[in-house]
Amino acid sequence: MIKFDEANKIFHLQTKNTSYVFGFLKDRFLVHLYWGKKLVSEQLDYDMFLDYMKYRRNMCASDYNDIRLSRDCLPSEFSTFGNTDQRTPSFHAVYKNGSFITELSYDSHIIYKGKKPLKCLPATYVENDDEADTLELTLKDELTGIKVVLSYTAFNELDAITRSVKVINTGADRVRLDAVLSAVVDFKDNDYDFIHLPGAWARERHPERVSLMTGKQIVDSARGNSSAQHNPFFALVKKDTTESMGDAYGFNLVYSGNFTAGVEVDPYNTSRAFIGINPFGFEWQLESGEEFVSPEAVLVYSDCGLGGMSRIFHKLYRTRLCRGKFRDIERYVLINNWEATYFNFDEEKILNIAKKASEVGVELLVLDDGWFGKRNNDNSSLGDWYVNKEKLPGGLTQLARKVNELGMKFGLWFEPEMVSPDSDCYRAHPDWCIHSKDRIRSEGRNQLVLDLSRQDVCDHVYNSLYENLSTVNISYVKWDYNRTMSNIGSALLAADKQGEFFHRYILGLYSVLEKLVAEFPDVLFESCSSGGARFDPGMLYYMPQTWTSDDTDALERVFIQYGTSMCYPYSAMGAHVSIVPNHQVGRTTPISARGNIAMMGQFGYELDLNKLNENEIEAVKEQIKTYKKLGSVFHSGSLYRLVTPENGNFVSNEFVSEDKNTVIVSNCVMRAVPNSPVYYLKLQGLDVNAVYLLEETGKCYGGDILMSAGIPYQLTKDYDTRILVFKKQ
């Protein structure tokens, strides 16, 4: 619900449990007033929220004829550069005369039910207009003709608010946009910890929690993708906030390219949080009559700690970001040949893997890298998306048919955004890659990145996949992206538009994906980027799951999946059982641990089942049966992180089905110690008046007992795992 107090010029956005309030102070200054627990009072005024300002003293420039007022002291709702607010701006533009001052004032606003899609960009959505209210607030700079439309959507039941910005040039002259952030929120103090998700290849999204400090704390990417190094997510939490209690404010950007996100603490201990496209490397020439739309920012508040914040993100993304046939159904148990064969395979090897997989209950075989062109290693053939007849003389059609005859579906790996210098594609079109004239074209993994800011290149990528998907019975596509961008430049962009390249690339990528998922609604697409280097909400809009990491070691996956779950649901996490010793870290873990940790995500195998012994094969059969029984709860249930893995010893995750009838507790000992302590697992999210049967023992417990006293649990061996299932009686 969104209310507007005409007399006080205050907007009040309400979700089920939260309020977000801002308005026009002195009919002129757009100020942020409140974000937190839901306010029931109908009488809101500026003194309630800004009274603390009378205690502020500063030496900042006063604002025009009001010597008592400086915008550097005001909590701004949308900040511009060049006036007396000298903190991080939401918006920065350069005009024809070289000026970079923008002075926005109220122009108009509309409030309506529902939510409109963003032009050419992924975004959350509603299926019924009653699910949300939207505010479009238009501000205008009278001198330059720039209009800025601030869009806010308040979801009624999901406790999420989304923001985006549209810039319209109604003036006569071109304007250069240097920064258009999607959301800025000012907090009254700096008594927060900053949580973000740093990482690297095979070590993605390991949460880091640090205190705010004076100055700026920023995470970002200028790599062309959202990256493994940082994720377009961060949270501000009070010092005493835990998994289950305390204030948690989450910020996430629905975007797959360069981003910036962070907090600026000023000398007066106020904090400005911001998120949006990275201004570094960004310049957008906005011609007269044109508009620019920023990506959507998702803002979530919970007073139930980090767990409460995560559950809001999870449900929103599961139900109102992911789309299509596979959003609500359980997906396939798959087997991928990559770690089983790498490039060294032929049809016989693949079919031997498929035959054994079909016997144990696997539903889908995925043929990974090496099936096309002359691809026998990573030195060639990207861009040549025709079958390698030396490996597969009967072609993909024959292989897919034989896999289907085994009762399994067939899936295929692509890396459509890349090209090998040793390829027919590159030899025919050397200008199709990202490059800068007269500069050396630096390679990563012996490949270059195709220039998706160009329509002809986008057409090539689309047509390459269309040709394969329309002629072969393919049920699944793994879409990979194995390097970041360098030597930035496009042969078709004018010199003064090269700063538009990064964003135009992402728009080109999204346009290709939108066409493909519309054309092939029965194909399950999974995103991948050297593992999890593009695990972001933008990709989830087109592909409901992402390969979480190239690191398939069970212990490492405990940490990676934990960090990923801070914002993203387990239904979005591709997770496989691989061979031991593990190919990334050399660790040997029991197949039970590998299975129990993987089956919380989108479950599969990445090995040759023919190389397992009899006991391991039986374990695989049981894992698949268990997953088919419990997968829907892992993926659509509410997640409670009972014990997080930072302690290095023990981790426990609880999943509660939406109807609260099934409860799963997944436990793992990472490092056993002699005379280890007994863990009392206090469950959460149960019906306090119900009785729950523990299937393993047949014993019944009251919901209140499980949540208040807990159940004792002790594991005594390294990598020992157990899955406990409770059923409501």
82 and 227 assigned to the same domain: yes
Task: Report yes or no on 479 lying in a domain.
Answer: yes
Angle subtended by helix axes 614-636 and 347-360, to nearest 10: 70
pLDDT over 90 at 263, yes or no: yes
Task: Report yes or no on 690 lying in a domain.
Answer: yes
Angle subtended by helix axes 614-636 and 591-598, to nearest 10: 20
Please give the residue range of the domain that contains residue 667. Answer: 643-728
274 and 412 assigned to the same domain: no
Share of the chain above pLDDT 70, in %: 97
pLDDT of residue 62: 55
Q: Which residues of 41-55 are buried (b: 16+ CB within 10 A; e: fewer)?
A: eeebebeebbeebee
551 and 612 assigned to the same domain: yes
CB 628 within 8 A of CB 654: no
pLDDT of residue 70: 74
Return the beta strands (E) in 118-270 as ranges. 132-140, 146-155, 160-169, 175-187, 192-196, 208-211, 215-221, 233-238, 248-254, 259-265
HEC assignment per residue over 702-721: EHHHHHHCCEEECCCCCCCE
609 and 649 assigned to the same domain: no
Distance CA 553, CA 576 (A): 9
Distance CA 635, CA 655 (A): 9
| Coil, helix or strand at residue 407 | coil
Distance CA 658, CA 637 (A): 6
Return the beta strands (E) in 440-520 as ranges. 448-449, 476-479
Distance CA 50, CA 70 (A): 13
Return the CATH number at 163. Answer: 2.70.98.60
Distance CA 463, CA 42 (A): 56
pLDDT over 70 at 112, yes or no: yes
712 prior amide bond cis, ω within 30? no
250 and 391 assigned to the same domain: no
Average pLDDT over residues 285-298: 98
Average pLDDT over residues 374-378: 96
Task: Report yes or no on 41 lying in a domain.
Answer: yes
For the chain, what is the domain count?
Answer: 3
Task: Report yes or no on 500 lying in a domain.
Answer: no
pLDDT over 70 at 54, yes or no: no
Instruction: Show the DSSP H helices in 565-692 as ranges.
Output: 591-598, 614-636
Where residue 55 falls among pLDDT bands split at 50, 70, 90?
A: very low
HEC assignment per residue over 22-69: EEEECCCEEEEEEEEECCCCCCCCHHHHHHHHHHCCCCCCCECCECCC
Task: Report yes or no on 260 lying in a domain.
Answer: yes
Which of 503, 573, 588, 564 shows the shortest CA–CA distance to 543?
573
Domain boundary (253, 287, 320) is at 320
Least confident of 45-54, 80-89, 217-226, 424-433: 45-54
Where residue 61 falls among pLDDT bands split at 50, 70, 90?
A: low
pLDDT of residue 678: 83
pLDDT of residue 52: 54
161 and 203 assigned to the same domain: yes
Q: Which tens digits make up the pLDDT trace of 392-412?
A: 999 999 999 999 999 999 999
Least confident of 57-61, 458-462, 463-467: 57-61
Which of 392, 366, 388, 363 shows the shortest CA–CA distance to 375?
388
715 Cβ neighbours under 8 A, 6+ residues apart: 650, 667, 668, 669, 672, 676, 721, 722
Beta bridge partners of 592: none
555 and 472 assigned to the same domain: yes
What residue type is 568 in one-letter code? Y
Burial of 676 (0-12, 13-18, 19+ CB in 10 A): middle
Return the CATH number at 670. Answer: 2.60.40.1180
Task: Report yes or no on 107 lying in a domain.
Answer: yes
pLDDT over 50 at 640, yes or no: yes
CB 359 within 8 A of CB 612: no
Q: Which tens digits make up the pLDDT trace of 307-361?
A: 999 999 999 999 999 999 999 999 999 999 999 999 999 999 999 999 999 999 9
pLDDT of residue 41: 86
Distance CA 268, CA 238 (A): 18
CB 610 within 8 A of CB 356: yes
Hey, what are 476's tokens?
Answer: 């699944």
pLDDT of residue 587: 97
Domain boundary (273, 298, 320) is at 320
Average pLDDT over residues 376-393: 97
Hey, what are 627's tokens?
Answer: 């997953």
pLDDT over 90 at 139, yes or no: yes
H-run or E-run covering 413 = strand 409-414
pLDDT over 80 at 58, yes or no: no
477 and 548 assigned to the same domain: yes
Average pLDDT over residues 479-484: 97
Least confident of 332-336, 664-668, 670-674: 670-674
600 and 683 assigned to the same domain: no
Distance CA 533, CA 548 (A): 8
* 284-286 and 132-140 beta bridge pairing: unpaired
Task: Report yes or no on 697 lying in a domain.
Answer: yes
Task: Report yes or no on 718 lying in a domain.
Answer: yes
131 and 254 assigned to the same domain: yes
Q: Which tens digits make up the pLDDT trace of 580-611?
A: 999 999 999 999 999 999 999 999 999 999 99
Distance CA 714, CA 472 (A): 51
34 and 170 assigned to the same domain: yes
Q: Which tens digits make up the pLDDT trace of 519-560?
A: 999 999 999 999 999 999 999 999 999 999 999 999 999 999
Where residue 144 falls among pLDDT bands split at 50, 70, 90?
A: very high
Active-site residue set: 480, 550
Burial of 318 (0-12, 13-18, 19+ CB in 10 A): buried
pLDDT over 80 at 658, yes or no: yes
624 and 675 assigned to the same domain: no
Domain boundary (320, 346, 366) is at 320
Mean residue pLDDT across the chain: 95
> What are the CB-based long-range contacts (under 8 Å, 24+) for 703-708?
706/682, 707/682, 707/683, 708/682
- The model's pTM is 0.97
pLDDT over 90 at 39, yes or no: yes
HEC assignment per residue over 122-164: CCCCCCCHHHEEEEEEEEECCCCCEEEEEEEEEECCCCEEEEE
Angle subtended by helix axes 347-360 and 395-405, to nearest 10: 20
What residue type is 8 in one-letter code? N
pLDDT of residue 168: 98
Which of 526, 528, 606 shows the shortest CA–CA distance to 571?
526
Average pLDDT over residues 41-61: 68
Instruction: Show the DSSP H helices in 161-268 as ranges.
Output: none
pLDDT over 70 at 56, yes or no: no
Return the CATH number at 480. Answer: 3.20.20.70
pLDDT of residue 69: 64
